Structure formats: structure tokens, C-alpha cells
């Protein structure tokens, strides 16, 4: 009796706890490392305001080093927010025993009740757990770490049937790299909450999907199907020099309502990403609007969150802080300076919300990223000095006084290379240059300067300079380096005794009688040492094509008795295949002492093409000693019988579209280049081979967008004798650039086996019904094809909902009248097999089957007709997909009344 009373008391206490302790909605933990072993931590939680009995004026923080602290709430009784939400801050310092990585965490016994996707309906009894990992950095060599700040609150609102978007507006003060990962919320360290479903699995279907951007942290839910409260969680990882130094888990809540599904979400028009040079002012026009603005009561409010509002200089947005009439025109303005230069983007989240629900409503988020880069050093020049090359550039540099400026780096390559400024990708990594000097600050004659002595005669060197920026640790070590935009290029060399190729120019395209013009520059007579290299001199041009060995061209070999006699510096190479072969050349001057003075080799430009549907993709390549910085594309004009210019590019490819299939087009390429050295002739003009191509249709149509409605869908009222999956899709000719689809092919996918089940040759027929002969979960694909049988490949699968259903009647009349003569289930769905046993009133087995259709005719195991009466059944039901050794999906029991009656 005492045990029973104790049990009742415990049950009552548990019940009271469930009723009163509903509490946590969302939260995260942030920190700043203030010294080698000390951090300043902030725990932020969002709780249910009305849960007064569960209000926490203090929390226990576990520091990950075996110690705990009771931390008193820092913002009084908490900040009361709308919608029964309270924001709580718990701030304290902690000193660790040594350097290492530690997990800071808090655990609270209760979440709020009725969270739809956490152990429904028992979420109130599931603990709330958040965690942040801190790695203590050695501050002699590293800059102190500030954990990520999440500037967008973790409480957000959605609406049934409407697109939901959330971005946490993550900001890392130190410029560390961030990545995001969607995870299951936790109830303890490494322990996910039980029975968790991602939001799209509540009333799952093709109209209920989620996606998560691992770079920006944007969560998109398209679209909620059931009203209620949901929780999601994600972890933000911080990286410095490729090493993870911290991670933060945010657990957040989404309120989904069903009283706004006729409301349409507002929208925002603004740029997405931009990159600017430090010192300039960024102005971004923002247009926020509400498609329901014809309703005079509808107003919208524009808000902006993000790092630029926490920097100095600070960004501003000229907008009212209250709901106003649509549309709203706002200006984001940020006057930048050199202190804002960093490798990572600054993220700004712009949010517009309507007032459909008085103080809130549907929202739309627009995320834009801003990168601020260092300006390019200006007016870089070079000059040859003895056996070195001197570089000079402008002083002052516009960012050389900022605390981030560390100096300049010098980059070099052999031969010139044309580059344009890519403001979003500063620096010279992987752009064909090698760094030869770092953190240069030397000056001379009011210029920044550098002397390159590590050079070789006969080589042409080209240079660019970058500004370098980084934060500094307490002991002066740089952290998070970032480079500026590159300077102009300057090229120079120590005077050389080798010839220099100027032209490898195809002048006739033919498979047998092609012609290439070769031109070269002989060495400067003031430099060429005729005593060290006595006459006579033999000049020869060497050639190879494909993978052949180098061979001297017989007609190019000439002998001169004096160096000044070398005046013929051009040659026509005749009788070669310039249609399908690429050719390489070099020039050699050989003195009497057999010393060779050989130029760098260069190739002819070789043009190729790839015809497709009404288009031709042209590509070409040529390895040359000079830099080709511009290409002009020519196409043959049948009317004028001349080649006309159709485009220019600095790339080695070009695509022409809007062509006529099965028509032949011919092209050639003209290159413009230079060595980048003033005394060498420029520009250098060369031409490719002529090549012809015929476009043809090899591009399939776009794939249709497919929707499948099955017996599980509420919108379908299934006919028990005609259960079907109904497929409908879009006509790709209505929304695709390629509008030549003529029919569709329909495929079913069952157990990973794809099968063609139908073909429709009318492009305007966009419906199909698949009769269910076996109740197996099935996915479908619909492709479109054109008149040449090009079939689309970017196919999305659509699957029917999975709703196993098996129900039995409680009576049947096996009297042979053709009505209700067999005991069988109601129409069932997704049932693979059963194990049915039927017993009489004395417990004797009278019938058994594994057939889901049962079809019992009222006879016993010996085939004898049973008498009228009530029979008991036990039926194990196995859903489709269960293997013989897998658990029973469902067990049903009950009674059957057998009424044979009269025939």
C-alpha cells in the first residue's frame, strides 16, 4: 500500500512538472578570449514568458574542464518580447587550467510544450542543450578569438503554405572563415533529442521541402504544411588558416500559423553581392514591397542586420523603424576605410515584414555580401640596373597608414600576362605569378622600391605588386593575411644575346599547301659579343608539329660573314598542314665556336570548335613567348566573301548563338600581344587557322516539373476498385529557352528499378494516371524529348506519400449469393504481407494465411464449412519494404461474425 501511495505521489509531481516547467525556446553561447587562459562568455536563451514558475534567474554553465559555475541573469528579469517570448542574458568570465579545446554548455530540463517535430507530444519533457567549443589560442602568436555573433534573433515566424526563409546574420569580428551545418537539436552532449523530424517531414510531400546553405547559413522551407511550433538547430564552425578554432550551436524556434495562408509575402529588390575598394562609399538602393498593398490596412516594415552595423565606420539604412505603407525605398550607405579590409565578406540580412497579424506577419529575407579590398599600388615601373632590375611605385600608398597594413609583396613571372581587376578576388595566387618578396617597405627618392637581383640573362621578367594586410598578435605576429588588388604590370630584362620571336602567323589554311609567316628580332649589336662569338654565323629556324622532334627547316638556313649582315629576319614556311596541325618554332644563331643562341619557342594559334544546337563553341590555344592579351573573332561572310569581326575577348573561348542548324560557318582568330618591353615591337598580331563547323540539334528540351498525387493525398478521394497515382507536370515549351519538345516519357521507380510505363506524344497533354496493381511506394520521373529524340536529363523525381493502411471488417456472409461471400480487408495501401490467424471460441486455429487479400470463405483448415458465430483473429501486418526478418509493422486483433444465412 505504501509503495502504491509513493507511486501516485511521484506521478503527481511529474504531472505538475510537465504543466508548469515548460520553458526553453531557443539560444546559443558566445565568447571572447581575453587572455591566454580566460574567456568572457555570454549565454543567450529565449524562453516562454508565461512560464513564471520555470523562470531561471540563474543557470549552471559547464565549462568543459570539469568545473561548473552558477551564473546569475545579467539583464534583470529578462527582456520581454512579443509573442510570449523572453530574452535572457547570462554573462561571466572563466579561467581555464591550461591551453586546449573546451566545450561550454548549458542544460535545462525543459523545452516548451507541443513542439511538433521533437518527440510529439512530449517536447516539454525533453531537455534543452546548447554548446560552444572554444580553442584557447596562444596570444603571443595569434590574435584573440571572438566567437561568431548571430545578429538575427533565433525566433522567427512562418505561415502554412508560404515560403519561409531564415538567415542568422552571422558576423565574425576577426574575419575568420565560417561554415554552417544543419543538425538535430540536442538534449545532452552528443545526444540528439528523441523522435526528431526535420520540419519538411511534418505532412511530408513534394510541396514541403527544406534546404540549407552551408556557406551563408540560409534555411529555406518551401513550404510549411501544418501550423505549430518547430525547432531546428545548426552549428557554425570558425576556421583560421584552414584550422577549426571554434564552433557554436544555435537551437532556434519557428512559429508557423495557419491564419495567414491567404496573405502573400512581401518582397525585396536589391543587389546580392558586391565588392568595393577601401576608401569608397557604398550606396545600395533597396526596394521593399507588398503584393497585397491594395489593402489599405496592409503595411510593411524594413529592418537590416549584419556586421556593417557594428563596425567603425558604421553603415546606415535610411528607413523608418515602424510599419509604413508599401512600397519602401531605402538606401544602404557605408563610407568605408582601410581598417575594414579583410578576406571574408561582410553579410547583411535585409528583412521586410508585413503587419497581417497586427504586430507581425509574413517576412522575406534578402542576404547580400560585401567584400572590402585593399586598393592597388599605383604606377609600378622597372629599369635594368647592371645585373638587376629595379622596381619603383608610388608613395604614399592610400592604405599605408592603417593599423592593418604590413607592407608590400612583389610577384614575378617570365613573360607578360594580361590581367583585369577582379574586385572580389584580389591577390595573385594561382594567376601565373610567383611571390619573390614579402612585407617590403623600403623607399628611395620618395618612392617605394625593390631590387630584384635573382635574374638570368636572356629571360623577360614581368612584375606586379600587392599591398598586404593582417591583424597583429600581442607579440607582433600577423593573423588572417589578405592581399590588395594587383598593381599594373611592368616588364624588363637584362640585355640578351638571343633572338626573339615576334610572329607565328598562319597566312594560308590548307591541309597540304598551308603557309605560316615567322618573324624574329635579332640581338642588339651593342650587346652581342662578336669576339666571344666569332663569325661566320648560321641562322636557322627549327620546327615541329604534333609530337615530332625539332628539325631545322632547310630553306631557312642561312650563313653570314658578319653580324651586321643579318638583316633578313622573316621567313615563310610553305607546304605544310595548317588545317589540322599546330606548329611550333624557334630561331637559332650559331657562331663559329658552335655556341647556340636560341630564342624561346612559340606556337601557331590552333582553332577548334564544338557545334551544338544553333550554336558553336570556339576554343583556341597557343603557347607563345609573348603575352596575347586580346583576341578578335572573325566569321566568313558569304555575301561579301570576307571575314567580318563578330567579337573580342581576353579569354581563349567564344560562343556564337542564334545560328541556323545544318548550315556551315567558318571562323578565324586574330591575337594581339606584346612582350611588355618598350624596345620590342608591339603590338604583335598573329592569326589562327580557318576552321568550319556545322551546328545541329543535340540539346534536349528542359525537363518538366512533376507533381504526383496518390491515394494518401487528402485531395484525392480514392475509388477502392481504381486506386491510381495521378501525375501532372509543366509543359517545358512554356518556360524553357529551348521550345522544341514534342512528347513525354513516363518512368516509375520502385526499389531503385526504373521502368518506362508510358509515352505521350501530345506536348500539351500533361497528365497521366498509373493504376496501382501492387501497393508499393513508387517514385516517378517525366522526361521531355524533341523530334530528334534528344531526351532531357536534369530530371527531378516525385514520390507518392507513404501511408500504410490496413483495416478489416467485422462480419461477412459466406452463403454463395455473390455478395460479401469472402472475408477480406477494405482497400489497403502499402502492405507487403500479413500473418493472419483466426480462432474459434475454444481457441482452436481454423484459418491462417499470409496473403493480404485474405479471401477466407468461412471454411476450416480441412475445407469444412464452419458454423455461424463469432471468431477471433490475430493479424501481424508487414508494410511494404519490410524483409522477412524485420519487425512487424503493426498488429491488429479483433472479432469476426460469420453469418452464413440462407442461399
Confidence at residue 720, expressed as pLDDT on a 0 to 100 scale: 56
Confidence at residue 594, expressed as pLDDT on a 0 to 100 scale: 84
Cβ neighbourhood burial of 473 (10 Å; 0-12, 13-18, 19+): middle
Residue with cell 516525385: 798
Nearest CA to 154 among 85, 72, 52, 58? 85
Confidence at residue 901, expressed as pLDDT on a 0 to 100 scale: 60
Confidence at residue 548, expressed as pLDDT on a 0 to 100 scale: 86
Centre a 10 Å sphere on the Cβ of residue 232 and count the other Cβ atoms it contains.
25
Confidence at residue 40, expressed as pLDDT on a 0 to 100 scale: 96
Diameter over CA atoms, the chain: 132
pTM of the predicted model as reported, rounded to 2 decimal places: 0.61
Rounded-to-integer distance, Cα 720 and Cα 707, Å: 22
Residue with cell 614556311: 573
Alpha helices in 637-686 (DSSP H): none
Confidence at residue 260, expressed as pLDDT on a 0 to 100 scale: 82
List phi, psi (to 5°) of 491: -125, 150
Peptide bond into 313 cis (omega under 30): yes
**Residue 186 vs residues 106, 234, 859: alpha-carbon distances, Å:** 11, 10, 56
**Are the C-beta atoms of residues 682 and 716 closer than 8 Å to each other?**
no
Cβ neighbors of 638 (< 8 A, separation 6 or more) are none
Centre a 10 Å sphere on the Cβ of residue 198 and count the other Cβ atoms it contains.
15
Q: What is the DSSP string of 768-812?
A: EEEE-SS----EEEEEEEETT--B---PPPEE-----B----SEE
Centre a 10 Å sphere on the Cβ of residue 10 and count the other Cβ atoms it contains.
10
Confidence at residue 493, expressed as pLDDT on a 0 to 100 scale: 83
pLDDT < 50 stretches in the chain: 1-20, 902-903
Rg (CA), the chain: 39
Going by the DSSP 8-state scheme, the letter that residue 312 receives in this structure is S
Residues 779-808 as b or e (16 or more Cβ within 10 Å = b)? bbbbbbbbeeebbbeeeeebbbbeebbbeb
pLDDT (tens digit per residue) in 617-654: 999 998 998 889 899 999 999 999 999 999 999 999 99
Confidence at residue 589, expressed as pLDDT on a 0 to 100 scale: 94
Confidence at residue 803, expressed as pLDDT on a 0 to 100 scale: 77
Confidence at residue 244, expressed as pLDDT on a 0 to 100 scale: 94
Rounded-to-integer distance, Cα 901 and Cα 814, Å: 8
Confidence at residue 716, expressed as pLDDT on a 0 to 100 scale: 52
Rounded-to-integer distance, Cα 897 and Cα 875, Å: 16
- Set of cell numbers at residue 772: 496501382
Nearest CA to 801 among 730, 712, 876? 712
Rounded-to-integer distance, Cα 242 and Cα 208, Å: 36
Amino acid at each position: 500500500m505504501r509503495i502504491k501511495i509513493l507511486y501516485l505521489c511521484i506521478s503527481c509531481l511529474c504531472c505538475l512538472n510537465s504543466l508548469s516547467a515548460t520553458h526553453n525556446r531557443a539560444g546559443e553561447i558566445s565568447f571572447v578570449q581575453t587572455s591566454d587562459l580566460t574567456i568572457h562568455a555570454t549565454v543567450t536563451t529565449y524562453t516562454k514568458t508565461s512560464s513564471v514558475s520555470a523562470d531561471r534567474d540563474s543557470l549552471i554553465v559547464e565549462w568543459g574542464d570539469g568545473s561548473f559555475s552558477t551564473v546569475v541573469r545579467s539583464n534583470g528579469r529578462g527582456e520581454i518580447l512579443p509573442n510570449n517570448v523572453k530574452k535572457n542574458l547570462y554573462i561571466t568570465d572563466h579561467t581555464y587550467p591550461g591551453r586546449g579545446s573546451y566545450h561550454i554548455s548549458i542544460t535545462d530540463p525543459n523545452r516548451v510544450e507541443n513542439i511538433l517535430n521533437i518527440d510529439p507530444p512530449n517536447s516539454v519533457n525533453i531537455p534543452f542543450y546548447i554548446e560552444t567549443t572554444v580553442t584557447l589560442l596562444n596570444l603571443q602568436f595569434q590574435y584573440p578569438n571572438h566567437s561568431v555573433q548571430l545578429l538575427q534573433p533565433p525566433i522567427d515566424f512562418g505561415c502554412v503554405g508560404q515560403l519561409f526563409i531564415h538567415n542568422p546574420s552571422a558576423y565574425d569580428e576577426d574575419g575568420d572563415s565560417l561554415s554552417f551545418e544543419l543538425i538535430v537539436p540536442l538534449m545532452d552532449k552528443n545526444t540528439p533529442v528523441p523522435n526528431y523530424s526535420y520540419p519538411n517531414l511534418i505532412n511530408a510531400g513534394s510541396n514541403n521541402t527544406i534546404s540549407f546553405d552551408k556557406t551563408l547559413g540560409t534555411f529555406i522551407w518551401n513550404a510549411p504544411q501544418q501550423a505549430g511550433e518547430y525547432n531546428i538547430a545548426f552549428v557554425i564552425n570558425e576556421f583560421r588558416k584552414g584550422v577549426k578554432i571554434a564552433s557554436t550551436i544555435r537551437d532556434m524556434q519557428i512559429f508557423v500559423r495557419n491564419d495567414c495562408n491567404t496573405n502573400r509575402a512581401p518582397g525585396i529588390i536589391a543587389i546580392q553581392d558586391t565588392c568595393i575598394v577601401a576608401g569608397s562609399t557604398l550606396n545600395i538602393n533597396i526596394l521593399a514591397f507588398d503584393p497585397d498593398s491594395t489593402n489599405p490596412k496592409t503595411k510593411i516594415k524594413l529592418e537590416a542586420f549584419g556586421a556593417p552595423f557594428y563596425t567603425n565606420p558604421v553603415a546606415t539604412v535610411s528607413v523608418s523603424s515602424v510599419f509604413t505603407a508599401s512600397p519602401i525605398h531605402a538606401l544602404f550607405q557605408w563610407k568605408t576605410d582601410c581598417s575594414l579590409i579583410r578576406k571574408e565578406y561582410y553579410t547583411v540580412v535585409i528583412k521586410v515584414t508585413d503587419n497581417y497579424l497586427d504586430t507581425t506577419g509574413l517576412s522575406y529575407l534578402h542576404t547580400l555580401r560585401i567584400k572590402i579590398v585593399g586598393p592597388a599600388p599605383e604606377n609600378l615601373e622597372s629599369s635594368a640596373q647592371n645585373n638587376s632590375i629595379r622596381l619603383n611605385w608610388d608613395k604614399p600608398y592610400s592604405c599605408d597608414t592603417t593599423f592593418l597594413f604590413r607592407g608590400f609583396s612583389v610577384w614575378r613571372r617570365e613573360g607578360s600576362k594580361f590581367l583585369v581587376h577582379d574586385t572580389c578576388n584580389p591577390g595573385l595566387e594561382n594567376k601565373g605569378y610567383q611571390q619573390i618578396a614579402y612585407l617590403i617597405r623600403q623607399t628611395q627618392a620618395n618612392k617605394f622600391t625593390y631590387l630584384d637581383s635573382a635574374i638570368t640573362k636572356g629571360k623577360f621578367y614581368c612584375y606586379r605588386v600587392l599591398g598586404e594586410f593582417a591583424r597583429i598578435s600581442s607579440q607582433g605576429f600577423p593573423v588572417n593575411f589578405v592581399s590588395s588588388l594587383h598593381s599594373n604590370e611592368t616588364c624588363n630584362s637584362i640585355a640578351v644575346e638571343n633572338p626573339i620571336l615576334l610572329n607565328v602567323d598562319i597566312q594560308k589554311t590548307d591541309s597540304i599547301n598551308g603557309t605560316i609567316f615567322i618573324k624574329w628580332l635579332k640581338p642588339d649589336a651593342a650587346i652581342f659579343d662578336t669576339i666571344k662569338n666569332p663569325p661566320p654565323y648560321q641562322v636557322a629556324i627549327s620546327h615541329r608539329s604534333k609530337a615530332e622532334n625539332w628539325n631545322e627547316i632547310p630553306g631557312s638556313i642561312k650563313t653570314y660573314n658578319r653580324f651586321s649582315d643579318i638583316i633578313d629576319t622573316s621567313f615563310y614556311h610553305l607546304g605544310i598542314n595548317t588545317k589540322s596541325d599546330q606548329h611550333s618554332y624557334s630561331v637559332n644563331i650559331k657562331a663559329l665556336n658552335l655556341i647556340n643562341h636560341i630564342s624561346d619557342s612559340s606556337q601557331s594559334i590552333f582553332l577548334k570548335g564544338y557545334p551544338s544546337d544553333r550554336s558553336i563553341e570556339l576554343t583556341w590555344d597557343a603557347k607563345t613567348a609573348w603575352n596575347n592579351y586580346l583576341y578578335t573573332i572573325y566569321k566568313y561572310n558569304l555575301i561579301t566573301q570576307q571575314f567580318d569581326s563578330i567579337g573580342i575577348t581576353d579569354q581563349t573561348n567564344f560562343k556564337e548563338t542564334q545560328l541556323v542548324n545544318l548550315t556551315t560557318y567558318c571562323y578565324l582568330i586574330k591575337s594581339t600581344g606584346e612582350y611588355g618591353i618598350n624596345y620590342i615591337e608591339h603590338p604583335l598580331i598573329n592569326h589562327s587557322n580557318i576552321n568550319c563547323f556545322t551546328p545541329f540539334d543535340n540539346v534536349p528540351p528542359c525537363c518538366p516539373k512533376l507533381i504526383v498525387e496518390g491515394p494518401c493525398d487528402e485531395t484525392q478521394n480514392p475509388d477502392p476498385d481504381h486506386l491510381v497515382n495521378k501525375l501532372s507536370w509543366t509543359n517545358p515549351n512554356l518556360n524553357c529557352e529551348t521550345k522544341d519538345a514534342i512528347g513525354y516519357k513516363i518512368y516509375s521507380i520502385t526499389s531503385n528499378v526504373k521502368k518506362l510505363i508510358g509515352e505521350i506524344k501530345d506536348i500539351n497533354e500533361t497528365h497521366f494516371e498509373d493504376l496501382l496493381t501492387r501497393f508499393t511506394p513508387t517514385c516517378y520521373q517525366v522526361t521531355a524529348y524533341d523530334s530528334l529524340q534528344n531526351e532531357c536529363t536534369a530530371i527531378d523525381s516525385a514520390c507518392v506519400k507513404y501511408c500504410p493502411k490496413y483495416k478489416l471488417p467485422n462480419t461477412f456472409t459466406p452463403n454463395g449469393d455473390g455478395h460479401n461471400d469472402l472475408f477480406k480487408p477494405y482497400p489497403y495501401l502499402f502492405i507487403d504481407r500479413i500473418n493472419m490467424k483466426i480462432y474459434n471460441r475454444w481457441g482452436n486455429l481454423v484459418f491462417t494465411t499470409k496473403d493480404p487479400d485474405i479471401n477466407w470463405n468461412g471454411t476450416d483448415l480441412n475445407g469444412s464449412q464452419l458454423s455461424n458465430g463469432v471468431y477471433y483473429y490475430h493479424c501481424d501486418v508487414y508494410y511494404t519494404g519490410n524483409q522477412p526478418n524485420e519487425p512487424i509493422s503493426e498488429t491488429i486483433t479483433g472479432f469476426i461474425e460469420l453469418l452464413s444465412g440462407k442461399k
